Amino acid sequence: MKGYRSFRIGKDKVSLLLDQNALLKLGILVIITCIIFIVSVGLGDLRIHPFTVVNLFFGGGSELEQLVVFQFRLPRIIASVLVGMALAVAGGILQGMIRNSLAAPDTIGITAGAGMAVVAFLWLFSDDNYSLIVSIKWLPVAAFLGASLVASAVYFLSWKDGVTPVRLILIGIGISALMQAGTTTFMVLGPIYMASQANIWITGSVNSITWEDVNVLLPVTVILLILAFLSARNVNVQSLGEDIATNVGSAVQRHHFLLLMISTGLVGISVSFAGGIGFVGLMAPHIARKLVGSSYGALLPVAAFIGANLVLVADLIGRTLFLPSIVPAGVFTATLGAPYFIYLLMKSKR
């Protein structure tokens, strides 16, 4: 096939068909991400030249520059990349699995479910001194459980001789509103400090990310992303519809469950540390589809880097353009995402 190259390993036990055009575009996106990463590290109250930033990674620079970069900027920037990738890939999986171009963690309530679970966790396990009585490492577990329960509820409530796009979106909006009401309730019941912090967190922000957070976020996100990329073939089959997927020998229900767990895991780990950064899971897969087509083997990796760039740029604008104030990254993703969602609704024929 023109434009494709086969790749075989293990005495032809594993074979891949690589789209050269998609690989080229993915490589360009990787380079763009690296450039934005370096620029983002250098901008802030203390401006550092990009060449100096690169030199810092090899042990150069002054002690002040090393302190600012490695202790304050790098954790939030790494988190921005991971969160953007996770949300974008989760959105891509949901759109393929449900066969609904409007499906995303935000629009069907998964993000809101993870958010309520996190706020409930903070309320339940805080002592009188407002300190957690359990390890912060349990926070992603709470977010994952909240996201999983909401995703399952939306999917099963939407089922009526199949899942129709309008039914799923409407039920997702209703469940999302219910979760947001629950979040507000826990904020009211909790201490005043938690309400103010939770409001910033719900909007979506990486301001308070530390290396301890990155140490949890990085391995979990990387593992889930690898599982997502390995499951791309299943997403391709699921996107054809249940009847065709069954006829070609796919274990539809088992794959539905596995894909749902991967996407909710990605949403849960993102929300637990960065809050509800909205619309990344909606926009990134759509942009990727325009670039490389609808094959999820190419779409998911491309969407991952597009999502990383969206969150990186949103965080960069939020912490540099309005100094000395810092605006949460979720404000800017929502500013772009909400009109884009309306555009998709208006463009839809049904």
pLDDT digits (tens, 9 = 90+) for 264-321: 889 888 887 887 788 888 889 988 988 888 788 888 999 999 999 999 998 888 888 8
pLDDT at 189 over 70: yes
Give the model's pLDDT for residue 24: 87
pLDDT value at residue 85: 94
Top-ranked range on mean pLDDT: pick from 28-42, 46-60, 142-156, 287-301: 28-42
Written as six digits, the tokens of 255 are 């794959």
Residue 1 belongs to a domain: no
DSSP assignment letter at 186: H
Give CA–CA dist 25/301, Å, rounded: 11
Q: How many domains does the chain have?
A: 1
Beta-bridge partner residues of 29: none
Q: What is the pLDDT of residues 191-230, one digit of tens each?
A: 655 666 666 666 677 777 888 889 888 999 999 999 999 8
The pLDDT assigned to 268 comes to 82
Question: How many Å apart are CA 166 and CA 158, to the nearest integer?
Answer: 9
Domain assignment present for 8: no
Secondary structure (3-state) at 92: helix
Q: Has residue 115 been placed in a domain?
A: yes
pLDDT at 349: 57
Asked whether residue 33 is assigned to any structural domain, the reply reads yes
306 or 345, greater pLDDT: 306
Q: Whole-number mean pLDDT of the chain?
A: 80
Residue 226 falls inside a structural domain: yes
Q: Which residues contact 145 (CB under 8 A, 6 or more apart)?
A: 117, 268
Would you place residue 103 in the very low, low, confident or very high pLDDT band (cuts 50, 70, 90)? confident
250: domain CATH number is 1.10.3470.10
- Residue 284, domain extent: 20-349
Query: Does some domain include residue 125?
Result: yes
CA 350 from centroid of its chain's CA atoms: 27
The number of residues making up the chain comes to 350
If we measure between CA atoms, which residue out of 279, 286, 295, 289 comes closest to residue 229?
295
Q: Let me know if residue 68 belongs to a domain.
A: yes
pLDDT for residue 223 = 94
Residue 138 lies in a domain: yes
